[in-house]
Structure 1
């Protein structure tokens, strides 16, 4: 597994990371023993970059990550996030970027993870009611206190990124990016490269849609949040399935899976500064994802992919309105 410099502050991570959210929530039931096998298989495959957040579970995903990685703490990079408030019953309580909440959140995350320092700490979403300078100023205090090593943002605009970076160097931006979510190419990725900020694409497999494993909405578990996602519903589903079918055909011609082609395409967009974090809770899919590292493209293949999945190809919004 190759490593890259994520951002320009010195953080080094594996080319592929592991998104851990689905092990605790959103994508149906999971098996704790299999989760542990996934962590071990990731480590065996050279993955050292693991992503969680306080809201996943809620709260229990950080505990899972901490438990799984404690024996190898000095060999891994642990990233977590704050700002999405949730109640003990799982209810969503809004965004909070107030400085006092920053300090409260980091202490709670450190306790759940069972570690002394968080390697990369993201503001999960920007609070529109708190100037980002105030939030990042409080995050910078965490670095000074030794509770956090590097700072990140998630789903921030170019203007917000610039304002935050002026307060304290931002190491990474995490944003959805895949063959059906290419919007960051317009302004976000150029801004990151100008400022020396690394890019962490999440959902690089389109929440599993681009793998070709989901042929109808009923293939999803009843408690899977994707059943309420606009891209997985009605006419949108059928339109998006046509894109996946074309991706599957091209993948078959290359002798790889649709998932490997989709993930390899993301990797090819940023060979030096992208660290995608595909999530999975099954060893077989983790190993399939690792296989994407060995997939390369000819210029003709990349042009064909651009025809199949241009910017804006996906039908439906990325998220449903929060219920």
Structure 2
């Protein structure tokens, strides 16, 4: 997402981003996650160009369910929209199928059974191998499962946002559903990228995120200090510790940190080798929740 949308819009460089994607594949980080609304459309086009000669090396995931409105995003789960959107995504991605097709958000105006039924059609047609949901309740997963198997669920999961650990995390473990943790670095905060709210670039979505506002930002530095304490113990970076914590939540958890920088990519991939002991996990689990509403 950050390569084309929402984060640091003035820093977009598609050639550099393609190089990051290529290096990710070189390192074995093959899950490439995008969405039709990122840009909109520009991110799928970028991924399509980058993977043109390396499609077989990637586990390619995209999403449907958001469309751009006059002032903000709106949800669209109508079956006719799903049917048209998958074909448009495949054209932009330059492929005949995606490995995981995800419903970005449930549309409250459309019964989930109808939306998910249209998603299931994409599997029957060979346009998607598996289906996933994003930001859903356990009850909504049950509804979808009654129509077609749910392979994966995306949820924001990090030391910055731990809501999913209460019910969604154990449920997906029991059901054999992958949990894809988005924003595992707390939108960059847990990597220690920002020393103050003024470090967030102009035009960046995070300028309007409650957790990056002055009063909350200062409070959230306590959370970052705890991550840094463990990082020093482990001779690791804060980002690696934050990612290792996410991965410690269970073998079914997959983290998808985003970056436009090859150096940060290497840093993120190396998190897979960071081992947190019981003392580390106890310290991290006891950290205070982030101040400010999740957005």
Q: Which category of TM-score, normalised to the shorter sequence, fits these structures?
A: over 0.9
Determine whether 1:314 maps to 2:293. no
Give the conservation status (yes or no) of the 8 Å contact 2:226–2:284: no
Q: Distance in 1 between matches of 2:130 and 2:25?
A: 22
Aligned partner of 1:219 in structure 2 is 199
Q: Where do residues 100-249 of structure 1 align in structure 2 (5 Å cutoff)?
A: 100-249=80-229
Distance in 2 (CA, whole Å) between partners of 1:196 and 1:252 is 35
**1:82 equivalent in alignment to 2:72:** no
4+ residue segments displaced more than 6 Å: none
Counterparts of 2:71 and 2:46, CA distance in 1: 20
Say whether residues 1:292 and 2:274 are aligned partners. Answer: no
Does residue 253 of structure 2 align to residue 259 of structure 1? no
Aligned residues: 293
Distance 1:43 1:273 in 2: 21
* Structure 1: runs of 5+ lacking an equivalent: 1-20
Superposed CA offset, 1:69-116 (max 9, x none): 1211112111000111015xx853410111111101111111111110
Contact 1:82 1:105 in 2 (8 A): yes
Conserved? CA contact 1:155–1:174, under 8 Å:
yes
SS of 1:143's partner is helix
Question: Cα distance, 1:281 vs. partner?
Answer: 0.4
SS of the equivalent of 1:156 reads coil
SS in 1 for 2:276: coil
Give the match for residue 8 of structure 1.
none
The match for 1:282 is 261
Secondary structure, counterpart of 2:110 in structure 1: coil
Contact 1:84 / 1:92 at 8 angstroms: preserved in 2?
no
Q: Is 2:20 the partner of 1:38?
A: yes
Task: Report the 3-state secondary structure (helix = DSSP H, G, I; strand = E; otherwise coil) of the residue aligned with 1:308.
Answer: coil
* Structure 2 Cα separation of the partners of residues 205 and 318 of structure 1: 14
Which structure exhibits the higher relative contact order, with contacts defined as CA atoms closer than 8 Å and separated by 6 or more residues?
1
Give the Cα–Cα distance (whole angstroms) in 2 for the partners of residues 130 and 187 of structure 1.
Answer: 25
Which residue in the other structure is 1:51 paired with?
A: 33
For residues 161 and 232 of structure 2, what CA distance do their matches in structure 1 show? 23
1: CA distance, partners of 2:170 / 2:236: 30
Deviation at 1:308, TM superposition (A): 2.0
What per-residue deviation string (whole Å, max 9, x for no partner) do you get for residues 250-295 of structure 1?
A: 211221110010001111112x211110000000100110110110
Q: Distance in 1 between matches of 2:216 and 2:158?
A: 17
Give unmatched runs, 5+ long, in structure 2: none
SS in 2 for 1:70: coil
Question: Once the 2 structures are TM-superposed, how far is the Cα of residue 246 of structure 1 from its aligned partner?
Answer: 2.1
Contact 1:212-1:245 at 8 Å conserved across structures? no
Inter-partner Cα distance in structure 1 for 2:71 and 2:269? 35
- 2:233 and 2:177 map into 1 onto residues whose CA distance is 36
Are the aligned partners of 1:79 and 1:121 in contact in 2 as well (CA < 8 Å)?
yes
Q: TM-score, normalised by structure 2?
A: 0.96
- TM-score where L is the length of structure 1: 0.88
